[in-house]
Amino acid sequence: MFNKYVHVAVGVFVAMGLAALFMLAMKVSNLSSMSDEDGYEVSARFENIGGLKVRSPVSIAGVRVGRVTDIRFDQATFEAVVKMNVGGSFNQIPTDTTASILTAGLLGEQYIGLEPGGEEDYLESGSEIKLTQSALVLEQLIGQFMYNEAAEGGE
């Protein structure tokens, strides 16, 4: 009887562990927030998106207001076009808002940060954010620093 109780307890413990691992995997992969909330779609063009991915967060003042829904390359302008779904409750974002690709922490994932402007007109479905700042590429910054140091050393 005691042996059967131990087997059941171990089985429940293993099942709870597997459920916890599943929840952790869902949280890390952002699949838990795949809800199709109603909102509106806006786009922005960037010269370099770095490691930005579909389902990356879009935030204003650190508050998530949407997600990246699509990333494609425009062959005419050689820019990346990023489409974002912004939640319907955030319907008063000015048209002169700035979109920047930022990094969460030193080695964290990249996301889009929006900084609202002062216009009285608001973004709506199909709008394009004109003011953008591309992702910082660490390799380019290091190369630029090395080039500047070499130029100063040669004088």
> What is the residue-wise DSSP string for 80-145?
EEEEEEEETT----BTT-EEEEEESSSS--EEEEEE--S-SSB--TT-EE-EEEPPPPHHHHHHHH
Same domain for 29 and 98, yes or no, is no
pLDDT at 46: 95
1-55 pLDDT, tens digit per residue, is 778 889 999 999 999 999 999 988 877 765 545 455 578 999 999 999 988 999 9
pLDDT at 37: 58
Assess contact for 119 and 96: CB atoms under 8 A: yes
Host domain of residue 21 = 1-34
Question: Residue 67, Cβ neighbours under 10 Å: how many?
Answer: 22
68-103 pLDDT, tens digit per residue, is 999 999 999 999 999 999 998 998 999 999 999 998
Burial of residue 29 (CB within 10 Å: 0-12, 13-18, 19+) is exposed
- Classify residue 155: in a domain, yes or no: no
How many structural domains is the chain composed of?
Answer: 2
Tokens found for residue 22: 């599943």
- Classify residue 24: in a domain, yes or no: yes
Check the CA dihedral 125-97-141-144 and report its sign. positive
Q: Establish how many alpha carbons lie within 13 A of residue 7's alpha carbon, considering only the half-sphere containing its beta carbon.
A: 4
pTM: 0.69
Between these two residues, 128 and 152, which has the higher pLDDT value?
Answer: 128
Element (H, E) at 2: helix 2-28
Residue with tokens 């927030």: 33
- Classify residue 62: in a domain, yes or no: yes
Same domain for 125 and 58, yes or no, is yes
- Classify residue 8: in a domain, yes or no: yes
Assess contact for 109 and 67: CB atoms under 8 A: no
